[in-house]
Amino acid sequence: MQITRSSIETSKGPAGWFTGDVYLDAVAAPQPGSQVAAALVHFTPGARTAWHTHPHGQTIFVTEGVGRCGREGSPAETIRPGDRVFFEPGERHWHGAAPDRLMVHVAIQQADQAGSTVTWDRHVTDEEYGRV
C-alpha distances in Å from residue 96, one per residue of 3, 7, 59, 82, 128: 30, 26, 14, 15, 12
The 10 Å Cβ neighbour count of residue 111 is: 18
Tens digit of each residue's pLDDT (9 = 90 or more) over 118-127: 999 999 999 9
| Residue 96 DSSP SS3 | strand
Q: Give the chain's domains with CATH numbers.
A: 25-113 (2.60.120.10)
In 3D space, the residue among 38, 97, 26 whose CA is nearest the CA of residue 65 turns out to be 97
Least confident window among 5-9, 37-41, 86-90, 106-110:
5-9
Residue 131 pLDDT > 90, yes or no? no
Q: How, if at all, do strands 67-71 and 93-97 pair?
A: antiparallel
Give the containing element (helix H, strand E) for 53: strand 52-53
Tens digit of each residue's pLDDT (9 = 90 or more) over 52-106: 999 999 999 999 999 999 999 999 999 999 999 999 999 999 999 999 999 999 9
